[in-house]
Amino acid sequence: MPHKPNNRLAGQTAVITGGDSGLGRAISLAFAKEGANVVINYAHNEKAAHEVEQLITDGGGKALVVQADVSQEAAVESLFQQAVDAFGTVDVLVANSGLQQDSPFENMTLAQWQKVIDVNLTGQFLCTRAAIREFLRRGLRPDVSAALGKIICMSSVHEVIPWGGHANYASSKGGVELLMKSIAQEFGKRKIRINSIAPGAIKTPINTAAWDTPEAEKKLLTLIPYDRVGEPEDIGAVAAWLASDEADYIHGTTIFVDGGMTLYPGFGDNG
């Protein structure tokens, strides 16, 4: 049975980048259940974005679909302007957009390196900067939120776990960690609350090959002490709570949602 909404985000507007699929879809739906207006950003799949919008509006919520490539400055500025035009302001950013372009390191092209850094790291810079500018412009609304604004950066267990064959991806997520912590340090006194969520293995389109057969899933489970592969809803639930006032004293940290992957289970029997 689905959980009843707590309306912990009532009266607030959230921009969810990559909100059309995978983690972003689950986060968009979780925020809508908590009463937020949801701006569903997508890069390419307009149909999927409108399907998420329909689910939200069918449930009585409000949503807006906006196309934007988060690696492009003008597109990000337009995304936030459209959000403000529609809903008056932005209260929460979930910087979720990300991609992989995997390659053995010696064969990795500059284009493969640059594309992943552009979307996964530069995209987070552009989106978090736009969000902070809007929070500062708008000012505190204590009747709506204890914080001036909330930012959730989508990271990965690979901000701490090295990942051969994925150097561009792991580098981008390592960068996200210190981007998040640096701006959290800088803007804490301004009442802007900034954190990351680091998913482990979650059943999303980005990693289908790792879990879509019994053999693949069994191999993957050797990395997960809790012995199940995560679902997108696991991330959605944490993100919605982290954006709420219930989490108001959580600032500048990464919440790992990984079934214990960062416990390095290979060492569980003494290595």
Catalytic site positions = 169
Task: Kindly list the strands in the beta sheet with 37-42, ordered across the sheet, starting from the edge strand earlier in the chain.
Answer: 63-67, 37-42, 13-16, 92-95, 149-154, 192-199, 254-257
Residues shown for the chain: 271
148, 140 Cβ separation under 8 angstroms = yes
Q: Among candidates 190, 211, 193, which has minimal Cα distance to 202? A: 211
Nearest one of 209, 261, 264, 204 to 235, comparing CA atoms: 204
Cα 261 from Cα 256, distance rounded (Å): 9
CA dihedral 213, 214, 216, 221 (to 10 degrees): 140
* DSSP codes, 158-198: GGTS--TT-HHHHHHHHHHHHHHHHHHHHHGGGTEEEEEEE
